[in-house]
Amino acid sequence: MESAAAREPRGADAPRAPAPPPSPAEPPAAPRARPRLVFRTQLAHGSPTGKIEGFTNVRELYAKIAEAFGIAPTEILFCTLNSHKVDMQKLLGGQIGLEDFIFAHVRGETKEVEVTKTEDALGLTITDNGAGYAFIKRIKEGSIINRIETVCVGDSIEAINDHSIVGCRHYEVAKMLRELPKSQPFTLRLVQPKRAFDMIGQRSRGSKYPVEVKVTSGRETLRLRSGGAATVEEVPTEFEEEASRKVDDLLESYMGIRDPELASTMVETSKKTTSVQEFASCLDSVLGEFAFPDEFVVEVWAAIGEAREACG
């Protein structure tokens, strides 16, 4: 026989208390709004001021500038920051300060020059605009090119011996020029940036004219990347600036190019590695198309180390 205790309802069969009403669901957190980045821009030879936004790389930047002024993006040779002059120290590279003023230098006159390569080096340093045009960033004093007065810093190299190089990267153009045979003349087709005085006859006294723009530096920059979206970053540290400068100097010495964005990428890569062998392996995976020689990679690693020590 069951005892009285056994006949009492078990806990599992006891009536349950009503469940409390569900609490109202909390609304999902609103996504953090991205800051709206608007930049002022002018054509370097003279124009009203336009405003552009919504670009993530150099090609999109050129498209936005072209749209603002009703020109084709392919008209733009390069851009400078905070100066309308052909000043390679102000050249737009991979970073734009959030308060920088952008000046676009567009195609001017085309000219052809004949050059005879009497030495191994022509004395040219080449860079490119990231959108298909390679141009002259520096001319070495006393060099072959320095003796040709019609060739100027800022000239875009459009063709070598009537072979178009539009779309080639700076290192490809520098290699083509290095491989030209000595003592054999060749022709360069160049396009110079449009100068401000080209417009004097068409401009009244009241029209817009580019001026040197003074801006504060700010603490953030927009980093443009050849692959991936642009990002807002803190301005480079003293170490990053010094290391990038040293690497850019080595790029000029070894390859005849200057490219602050490439130099900055190499410095960033070095921060993720602890040895020159690891650094070389990472460069191959990130920048394999450049095929950097081993001795160059060793010098870059050493230069970055020197910059780190100098900046503490």
Q: Where are the domains of the chain?
A: 38-193, 236-311
Contact indicator for 95, 223 with CB cutoff of 8 Å:
yes
- What pLDDT score was predicted for residue 15? 53
pLDDT over threshold 80, residue 197: no
Strand (E) or helix (H) holding 238:
helix 238-255
Block residue for tokens 């000239």: 155
In single-letter form, the type of residue at position 65 comes to I
- What pLDDT score was predicted for residue 6? 41
pLDDT digit string, tens, across residues 137-189 = 999 999 999 999 999 999 999 999 999 999 999 999 999 999 999 998 999 99
Report residue 3's pLDDT band, with 50, 70 and 90 as the boundaries.
very low
In single-letter form, the type of residue at position 120 comes to D
pLDDT over threshold 90, residue 29: no
- What pLDDT score was predicted for residue 95? 80
Q: Which CATH superfamily is domain 38-193 in?
A: PDZ domain (2.30.42.10)
Report residue 243's pLDDT band, with 50, 70 and 90 as the boundaries.
very high
Lowest mean pLDDT among 160-164, 216-220, 292-296, 308-312: 216-220
Side by side, which strands form the sheet with 95-97?
95-97, 220-223, 231-234
Lowest mean pLDDT among 121-125, 203-207, 255-259: 203-207
pTM exceeds 0.85, yes or no: no
- Exposure b/e, 14-47, CB count within 10 A at least 16 = b: eeeeeeeeeeeeeeeeeeeeeeeeebebbbbbbb
Residues belonging to the chain? 312
Q: What sign does the dihedral 225-160-72-193 (CA atoms) show?
A: positive
> Which are the contacts of 287, defined by CB distance < 8 A and separation ≥ 6?
262, 265, 266, 269
Q: What is the mean pLDDT of residues 44-48?
A: 95
Q: What sign does the dihedral 286-292-296-298 (CA atoms) show?
A: positive
Query: DSSP letter at 149?
Result: T
Average pLDDT of the chain, as a whole number: 83
Lowest mean pLDDT among 131-135, 167-171, 208-212, 227-231: 208-212
- What pLDDT score was predicted for residue 236? 82
How far apart CA 98 and CA 218 sit, in angstroms, is 7
